[in-house]
Each structure stands twice: as C-alpha cells, then as structure tokens.
Structure 1
Amino acid sequence: MAQTIGISQVWWRGKKYDTPKGTKWRIPGMQNEDQDASTRTLRSMRWNKGMAQATIFITKDADEDDFDPALGEGELQIQTDLGTVYVFPDAYVKAKPDVQDNGQAPVTWTLNTYQKISA
C-alpha cells in the first residue's frame, strides 16, 4: 500500500520546533506563465520563489524572537516521516509571527534554494 506524509518536523536555525499537523511548503523553481497572443496562448517562464508555512508552539524554550526578520537568512529544514528531508539554506522570515492565546504562532518563510535528501 502506498504511504503518504503523515508527520513533518520543522527545524529553524538548528533548533527543532513543535508544530501541529498542517505544515506546508513549495520548493522554489521555474514556473510557466501564459502569454496571450491574438489567436493563441504562448508560454514564457519565470522564477517562482519557494514558501513554507508552519504553526509553531510558543513554549519556554521557543518564542517569537526566534523568528525576528532582523536575524537575516538561516537554514530551515522540513523532515517528513517518509524519510525525506528538505533543506533550505537561505530561508528568511518577512515578519515576526502573530502569537495566539493558545500558544500557537503561524510563521511564513521565503525560500530561494533547496536540497532534497531522501532516505
């Protein structure tokens, strides 16, 4: 039977963060663009930046200052239970997350390059 991703773990700047289910990501790469011509559609390409979104639990060991944009670029890793690890060495956060009173803080990263490691 085929298996699908069930659990993903998030590591930011070498530190593991607790997250609920629902982490999502898009690896960076080329994207097709439609170019409308008079009687047909042509195709061009452009760069499509990568993106990752995860909700982090704010705990004693993890707070919103870990995601300060002033810290610059850092390494983001997403590890799945299928044995695949996505490494984004130049990820960055655009804004500090909004922390909710349930201890959760959604974080969004922008990604430019990646390495995919499969077990």
Structure 2
Amino acid sequence: MASTLGIAKLYWRGKKYDVQKGVRWRLPGMQNNDQNATDRTLRSQAWQQGMCQATVMITNEDDESTFDPALGEGELQIQTDLGTTYVFPDAYVRSFPDVQDNGQAPVTWSLSTYQKISA
C-alpha cells in the first residue's frame, strides 16, 4: 500500500524547531513561462528559486532573532516521514516573522540549491 507524506521535521542552522503541520516547500529549478505569439503560445524557461514556508512554534528556548534576515545564508533541512531529507545549504530568511501571542511564527525561506538524501 502506498504512503503519503505525513510529518515534516525542520532544522535551521543545525537546530530542530517545532513546527505546525502544513510545512510547504518548492524545490529550486527551471520554470516554464508562456510566450504568447500571433496564433500560438510558445514556451521559454527561467530560473525559479525554491521556497519553504513553515509556522515555527517559539518556545522559552527560542526567540524571533534566530530568524533575523541580516544573519544571511544558513543550512535548512526538511526531513520527511517517508525517509527523504532535503538539504538547502544556502537558504535565507526573507523577513522577520510576525510572532503571535500563541507562539506561532510563520517563516519563509528562499532556496537556491539543494541535495536530496533518501533513506
């Protein structure tokens, strides 16, 4: 029987963070763009950066300064319960998260390169 993805664990700069269910990511790579011509549509390609969006739970061991965009690039890892790990060595946070009083902090990373490791 086939299995679907159920759990994603997130590591930022070597530290594991608790995240809410619903982590989203897109691998970096080529993207097709439509080019409309007289009576047909042509295709061109362009590079599309990857992204990861996760709602991190801020605990008494953390604070939002960990996600300061000024810190620059760092390693982001996503480990799935299907045995696949994605490693993004040059990830960076796009902007400070809007932290809520329930501990939730939505964070968005941009990604340029990756390595996929399968168990």
Q: TM range, normalised to the smaller chain?
A: over 0.9
SS of 1:66's partner is helix
- What is the match of residue 44 of structure 1? 44
Runs of 5+ consecutive residues of structure 2 not aligned to the other structure? none
Point out 4+ residue stretches in structure 1 off by more than 3 angstroms: none
Q: What CA distance in whole angstroms lies between the structure 2 residues aligned with 1:105 and 1:77?
A: 18
| Cα shift readout 1:54-79 (whole Å, capped 9, x = no counterpart) | 00111111210000011000000000
Provide the residue aligned with 1:27 in structure 2: 27
Q: Which residue number in structure 1 is paired with residue 70 of structure 2?
A: 70
Paired-residue identity, %: 72
The equivalent residue for 1:88 is 88
Note if contact 1:10-1:17 (Cα within 8 Å) is conserved in structure 2.
Answer: yes
The one-letter code sitting in structure 2 at the alignment partner of 1:87 is: V
Distance (whole Å) between structure 1 residues aligned to residue 97 and residue 107 of structure 2 = 5
| 2:8 alignment partner in structure 1 | 8
Answer yes or no: is the 8 Å Cα contact 1:17–1:62 preserved in 2.
Answer: no
Q: How far apart, CA to CA, are the structure 1 residues paired with 2:73 and 2:114?
A: 13
Paired residue total: 119
- Give the superposition deviation at 1:109: 0.2
User: What is the CA RMSD across the aligned residues, in angstroms?
Assistant: 0.5
Q: For 2:43, what is the secondary structure of its paired residue?
A: strand
Unaligned runs of 5+ in 1: none
Deviations 1:14-45 (A, max 9, x none): 00000110001000000011100001111110
> Given residue 78 of structure 2, which amino acid in structure 1 is its aligned partner?
I
How does the TM-score come out when normalised to structure 2?
0.98
- Residues in 2 aligned to 1:100 and 1:49: alpha-carbon distance in whole angstroms: 28
